[in-house]
Structure 1
Amino acid sequence: MATVKVKFRASTIPTKEGTVFYQVIHNRVARQVNTGHKLYSYEWNTPCTEIVFPPGIEDARRNYLTSLKDALHEDIHRFKSIILRLERTGENYTAEDVVNQYLTPSNTGGFMAFARDIIWQLKQIGKFRTAERYTTVINSFERFLGENDVHLDDFDSNLMVRYENFLKSSGVCPNTSSFYMRGIRAIYNRAVEKELTLQRSPFKHVYTGIDKTVKRAVPLKIIRQIRDLDLTIFPVTDFARDIFMFSFYTRGMSFIDIAYLKKKNLQNGILSYRRQKTGQLLFIKWERPMQEIIDKYDTSDTPYLLPIIKDMNMDERRQYKNAAHLVNDKLRKLGEKLGLAIPLTTYVARHAWASIAKSKNVPLGTISEAMGHDSEKTTRIYLASLDTSAVDKANSQILKAL
């Protein structure tokens, strides 16, 4: 079986960047593919054959190296997929065949190959969140396909119905199934736009809508209970609780926005930040409970307001994702101890703030603006599943009248 490795060739001039390339070997014949990317020698670990982040690296360079590291990983995965397909044919092939299929991925007609190419392109232009969403989607689709890719011309409604049935049998809820379907549809439509296949409307018989979400808010008394817990001897859970409360104090700020808050975002008693999801600029009056949380933690070695991204020499996005997993895991366990009927996560703080604001008769437009929604319609949808007390009261009155 052919093998593929990432290689680095240093420049003959010490102050200049070297080149990164792939080496494909089959039957003792080697072929090289230039990636077009450059690195300095101190950014490459030869024994481990991987990119490293040197101390004191600037943000722009760190972002470039992170993007390149992800791109190399995706490319190696694509190479291995090509090799597996060639192996399964049972026919002889050469290292040159592997390289040719890699250089012309669309000619293979495979959806997964095309999808990974799109993800690589998104990372190259800095659209990491879209790339991550597409990666989650195709990982699910790959579990359905197994080791087989599907030709773009074979992408039809029968295939997607089978995939939907696979998701249902795996216990996936309708909204998650719809999320996967809409992601695959977005990738498929890109292939149609590139005229790699004809539009066959493969999603016409599967669910791509959005159901009402299960109520994820908690009342004010639960928020108080969470705030007043003595978690001194459980520092990690204490930190998770502080992040939850900070989100609530800041009108339901999402975890990713909290993670990337910098000290410079707080000026003259106003916290300003731009939502990662929408790019909308929001302003929050700085209140005493927010400062009390900030004062608990030492962030003198970082530009960030809270100790979520703590190591400036490591990938910031990976630190944020690891912290999100840890915080939500601790909150979930905390919620179980409190006997909550719903899983406690940082997102519950956002729902709770909106629900409590509604119960206090805060105008819909004010709630919408506070949460950074793009329209009141979004806020209506958001609040629709949070408070059923009026309906429950009406039902109770009807039953009492029997």
Structure 2
Amino acid sequence: MSYLFPNYQRKELELIKGSKNVLTDQTGNNYLDFTSGIGVMNLGYNDPELNQVLLEQSTLLWHTPNLYENQLQEQVAEKLANEKEYISYFCNSGAEANEAAIKLARKATGKSKIITFTNSFHGRTYGAMSATGQNSIHQGFAPLVPDFIYLPFNELEPLKAEINQQTAAVMLELIQGEGGVVPADEEWIQAVQSLCHEFGALLIIDEIQTGIGRTGTFYAYEGYQIEPDIFTLAKGLGNGIPVGAMLGKKTLAKAFGPGSHGSTFGGNKLAMCVASRVVERINQTEFLLEVQKKGQLLAAGLTQIAEKNKVIKAIRGKGLMLGIEFSDTNTLNQVMDLLEAEGLLTLKAGQNVLRLLPPLTIEVEEIKQALAIISKVLSNRTLQGNAE
């Protein structure tokens, strides 16, 4: 008997330790990790520097309530602003960050209508779930939070027809992660921003999965030549320590005065000391250029493999956030099981996409190792038969 709710579909292995980009299970098997704990462990496992800053802070204070000044929060907020006019609110997860973004948008504009997009994913709390454009996520939880409108992703005409002076915000991911690793078109994103400006709506960018260097720029929006009104972070921000952040333009400060929103554990000192060092390490030109180069190497290798395998329909993504679209769900599930047996951990996205999110510290030789494993698995005769 398990004393846990069965809300997770768990694999029959337990990961008990990790070092750099490799994980070890309860039987001693090692795995090259191309999941990063679903985009979390951007600096890999058992990092000595992060271990040390966490240890040092743990001997001082773990927690103080947000009734008092917190210089660690100030330091992290300044680093996240990245020399722009953004201010931060800290919480514990991506869903919480998106809840804060939704509340801020409605409070600041005095309007309630928020446009999001089909196959998006913004979290599983009520507001974030209501913003998510997937019926499977909504099933059984009606009534949802009202006034969310779902439109086709990367299509401009439906947005032009729907956005108006009653729109509080447009909320989107620059790469739909859970929805199948689908990047936004640059021209479309710039048009979305222009429409938001025209109708007085706020542009909210969900950077929960794409932020903190994942796409090769510190924030994914920097690669689209836009500047959102609000954006949200979590996952890679704490390298495994639970932490989320909602950033908004300084002009929105008056909408979130005392009593408007809060979190008991948000911005706690343990999370802040780690986040501060993570941001310092990743937001470096040389580090981000390496992410771009390694992403290009991985994408080029996958493209070569795809040319020889009919079960692959497309390769897409950016930086070290890449997806392999397969012909069907059954093939994807087979591939993931075979990869795991060969010592490579991967993720599912959408119905038939293999998602690759290695730590940003992944080595070139480890990328080559992963590509060799993928190539070997896809040469399996049963898989090739699926393409016939």
- Which one has the bigger helix percentage? 1
TM-score (norm: length of structure 1): 0.25
Q: If you compute each CA radius of gyration, which structure gives the higher value, 1 or 2?
A: 1
Q: What TM-score comes out, normalization by structure 2 length?
A: 0.25
- Relative to its length, the structure with more strand (as a share) is 2
The one of the two structures with greater contact order (alpha-carbon pairs below 8 A, sep at least 6) is 2
